Chain A
Amino acid sequence: MKFFVSLLLVALLGFAAPLYFPWWSFAITTFIVLFFLRQTPGKSFLAGFLGLFLLWGINAFWLDMANNHLLSQKVAVILPLGGSATLLIILTAFIGGLVSGFAGLAAGYVGERGDVGGGR
Chain B
Amino acid sequence: MRIIPFFIVTIITVALIVVLDIPLPVKDSHTPRLGYFLSPQKGFWQNAEPADIQFDENLSFSGLQGNANVYFDDKMVPHVYAENEHDAIFLQGYLHAKFRLWQMDFQSYAAGGRLSEIMGDSSSGTNFLKIDRFFRRLGMVAGAEKSLAALEANPVTKAYADAYTEGVNQYISTLKDKDIPFEYKLLNYKPEKWTNMKSVLFMKYMAFDLAGFEQDFEMTNAKSVFSQTEMVALYPYGQDSLNPIIPKGTKFGAPAFSLKPPADADSIYFNYYKNAAATDSMIKPDKSNGSNNWAVSGTKTQSGRPILCNDPHLGLNLPSLWFEMQISTPEFNAYGATFPGAPSIVIGFNDSCAWGFTNAMRDVRDYYEIKFKDSTKQEYWYDSAWQKTTFRDEVIHIKGKPDHTEHIPETVWGPVMYDNDYHDILHTGNSYACHWQAQDGSNELTTFRALNYTKNYDDYVNAMKGYECPGQNMIFACKRGDIAIKQNGKFPAKWRGQGDFLMPGENDAYAWRGFIPDSANIIMHNPERGFVSSANQYPYDTSYPYYLGGEYPVYRGYLINRYLSSMQNITATDMEKLQTNNYNVFQEMARPFLLKYLDQSALSEKEIKYLDIYSQWNLQNDAKETGPTIEKLWWDSLMTTVYADEFSRSALPLPWPEKSTLLDGLLKDSMNYIFLDNINTAQKETLQEDITIAFKKIIPVLEKAENENNLVWGKFKKSGVRHLLRIPVLSRLNLFSSGGETEINALKEFHGPSWRMVVELTDSTQAYGIYPGGQSGNPGSKYYDNFINDWVEGNYYPLLFLKEESMKKLPGLKGKMVFKKA
In the bound complex, do residue B38 and residue A59 qualify as a contact, i.e. CB atoms below 8 Å apart? no
B48-56, B266-274, B308-316, B552-560: which lies at the interface: B48-56
Identify which of residues 169-188 in chain B touch chain A, using a CB-to-CB cut-off of 8 Å. 182, 186
Question: Given the complex, which residues of B lie within 8 Å of A56, measured CB to CB?
Answer: 38-40
> Taking the complex as formed, is A113 at the interface, i.e. its CB lies under 8 A from any CB of chain B?
yes
What are 25 A-B residue pairs whose CB atoms fall within 8 Å in the complex?
A15-B41, A22-B42, A23-B21, A23-B36, A23-B43, A56-B40, A60-B40, A63-B40, A63-B45, A71-B48, A72-B45, A74-B780, A77-B729, A78-B727, A91-B38, A95-B20, A95-B34, A95-B38, A102-B9, A102-B12, A106-B10, A109-B1, A109-B5, A109-B6, A109-B9
Identify which of residues 45-66 in chain A touch chain B, using a CB-to-CB cut-off of 8 Å. 56, 59-60, 63-64, 66
Question: Given the complex, which residues of B lie within 8 Å of A98, measured CB to CB?
Answer: 16
Question: Given the complex, which residues of A lie within 8 Å of B16, measured CB to CB?
Answer: 98-99, 102
In the bound complex, do residue A74 and residue B730 qualify as a contact, i.e. CB atoms below 8 Å apart? yes
Identify which of residues 12-71 in chain A touch chain B, using a CB-to-CB cut-off of 8 Å. 15, 18-19, 22-24, 27, 41, 56, 59-60, 63-64, 66-68, 70-71
Which of chain A's residues has its CB closest to B45's CB? A63
Question: Given the complex, which residues of B lie within 8 Å of A64, measured CB to CB?
Answer: 45, 48
Chain B nearest CB from A44 CB (Å) reads: 10
Question: Given the complex, which residues of A lie within 8 Å of B43, measured CB to CB?
Answer: 23
Q: Report the separation of the CA atoms of residues A91 and B31 in the bound assembly, to the nearest whole angstrom.
A: 15
Q: Report the separation of the CA atoms of residues A110 and B1 in the bound assembly, to the nearest whole angstrom.
A: 5
B residues contacting A by CB (< 8 A) are 1-2, 5-6, 9-10, 12-13, 16-17, 20-21, 34-36, 38-52, 182, 186, 727-730, 779-782
**Closest 10 A-B residue pairs measured CB to CB?**
A71-B780, A67-B48, A59-B40, A109-B6, A23-B39, A102-B13, A77-B729, A66-B50, A71-B48, A106-B9
Which of chain B's residues has its CB closest to A103's CB? B13
Which of chain B's residues has its CB closest to A58's CB? B40
In the bound complex, do residue B48 and residue A23 qualify as a contact, i.e. CB atoms below 8 Å apart? no
Which single member of B9, B20, B47, B48 contacts A105 (CB below 8 Å)? Answer: B9
Question: Given the complex, which residues of A lie within 8 Å of B50, measured CB to CB?
Answer: 66-67
Q: Report the separation of the CA atoms of residues A33 and B48 in the bound assembly, to the nearest whole angstrom.
A: 31
In the bound complex, do residue B48 and residue A113 qualify as a contact, i.e. CB atoms below 8 Å apart? no
Question: Given the complex, which residues of A lie within 8 Å of B12, measured CB to CB?
Answer: 102
Question: Given the complex, which residues of A lie within 8 Å of B47, measured CB to CB?
Answer: 71
In the bound complex, do residue A71 and residue B41 qualify as a contact, i.e. CB atoms below 8 Å apart? no
Q: Report the separation of the CA atoms of residues A67 and B39 in the bound assembly, to the nearest whole angstrom.
A: 16
Report the contact-size class of chain A (Cβ under 8 Å from the partner): 35 or more
Decide if the interface of chain B is mainly helix, strand, loop or mixed. Answer: helix
Chain A nearest CB from B185 CB (Å) reads: 10
In the bound complex, do residue A74 and residue B13 qualify as a contact, i.e. CB atoms below 8 Å apart? no
If A63-B48, A66-B48, A71-B48 are given as contacts, then 16 extra A-B residue pairs at C-beta distance below 8 Å, sorted by A number, are: A15-B41, A18-B41, A66-B50, A67-B51, A67-B780, A71-B49, A72-B45, A74-B779, A77-B729, A95-B35, A99-B17, A99-B20, A99-B35, A106-B9, A109-B2, A109-B5
In the bound complex, do residue A78 and residue B48 qualify as a contact, i.e. CB atoms below 8 Å apart? no
A residues contacting B by CB (< 8 A) are 15, 18-19, 22-24, 27, 41, 56, 59-60, 63-64, 66-68, 70-72, 74-75, 77-78, 83, 91-92, 95-96, 98-99, 102-103, 105-106, 109-113
In the bound complex, do residue A74 and residue B39 qualify as a contact, i.e. CB atoms below 8 Å apart? no
Chain A nearest CB from B19 CB (Å) reads: 10
Which single member of A67, A71, A106 contacts B13 (CB below 8 Å)? Answer: A106
Chain B nearest CB from A35 CB (Å) reads: 11
Chain A nearest CB from B672 CB (Å) reads: 56
In the bound complex, do residue B34 and residue A71 qualify as a contact, i.e. CB atoms below 8 Å apart? no
Which of chain B's residues has its CB closest to A76's CB? B729
Q: Report the separation of the CA atoms of residues A112 and B779 in the bound assembly, to the nearest whole angstrom.
A: 48
Q: Report the separation of the CA atoms of residues A109 and B182 in the bound assembly, to the nearest whole angstrom.
A: 39
Q: Report the separation of the CA atoms of residues A29 and B735 in the bound assembly, to the nearest whole angstrom.
A: 50
Which of chain B's residues has its CB closest to A80's CB? B729
Q: Report the separation of the CA atoms of residues A24 and B18 in the bound assembly, to the nearest whole angstrom.
A: 9
Chain B nearest CB from A94 CB (Å) reads: 9
Question: Given the complex, which residues of B lie within 8 Å of A60, measured CB to CB?
Answer: 40, 45
Q: Report the separation of the CA atoms of residues A59 and B50 in the bound assembly, to the nearest whole angstrom.
A: 13
Question: Given the complex, which residues of B lie within 8 Å of A91, measured CB to CB?
Answer: 38
Which of chain A's residues has its CB closest to B46's CB? A63
In the bound complex, do residue B13 and residue A27 qualify as a contact, i.e. CB atoms below 8 Å apart? yes
Q: Report the separation of the CA atoms of residues A59 and B48 in the bound assembly, to the nearest whole angstrom.
A: 12
Q: Report the separation of the CA atoms of residues A96 and B43 in the bound assembly, to the nearest whole angstrom.
A: 12
Chain A nearest CB from B726 CB (Å) reads: 12
Question: Given the complex, which residues of A lie within 8 Å of B17, measured CB to CB?
Answer: 24, 27, 99
Q: Report the separation of the CA atoms of residues A98 and B186 in the bound assembly, to the nearest whole angstrom.
A: 22
Chain B nearest CB from A63 CB (Å) reads: 5
Which of chain A's residues has its CB closest to B780's CB? A71
In the bound complex, do residue B48 and residue A19 qualify as a contact, i.e. CB atoms below 8 Å apart? no
Chain A nearest CB from B76 CB (Å) reads: 15
Question: Given the complex, which residues of B lie within 8 Å of A70, measured CB to CB?
Answer: 48-49, 51, 779-782
In the bound complex, do residue B729 and residue A74 qualify as a contact, i.e. CB atoms below 8 Å apart? yes
Which of chain A's residues has its CB closest to B3's CB? A109
Question: Given the complex, which residues of B lie within 8 Å of A63, measured CB to CB?
Answer: 40, 45-46, 48
User: Given A23-B42, A92-B40, A102-B12, is A71 in contact with B1 using a C-beta cutoff of 8 Å?
Assistant: no
Question: Given the complex, which residues of A lie within 8 Å of B45, measured CB to CB?
Answer: 59-60, 63-64, 71-72, 92
In the bound complex, do residue A18 and residue B5 qualify as a contact, i.e. CB atoms below 8 Å apart? no
Which of chain A's residues has its CB closest to B47's CB? A71
Question: Given the complex, which residues of A lie within 8 Å of B41, measured CB to CB?
Answer: 15, 18-19, 23, 59
Question: Given the complex, which residues of A lie within 8 Å of B6, measured CB to CB?
Answer: 106, 109-110
In this complex, which of B40, B42, B46 has the most chain A Cβ atoms within 10 angstroms of its Cβ? B40
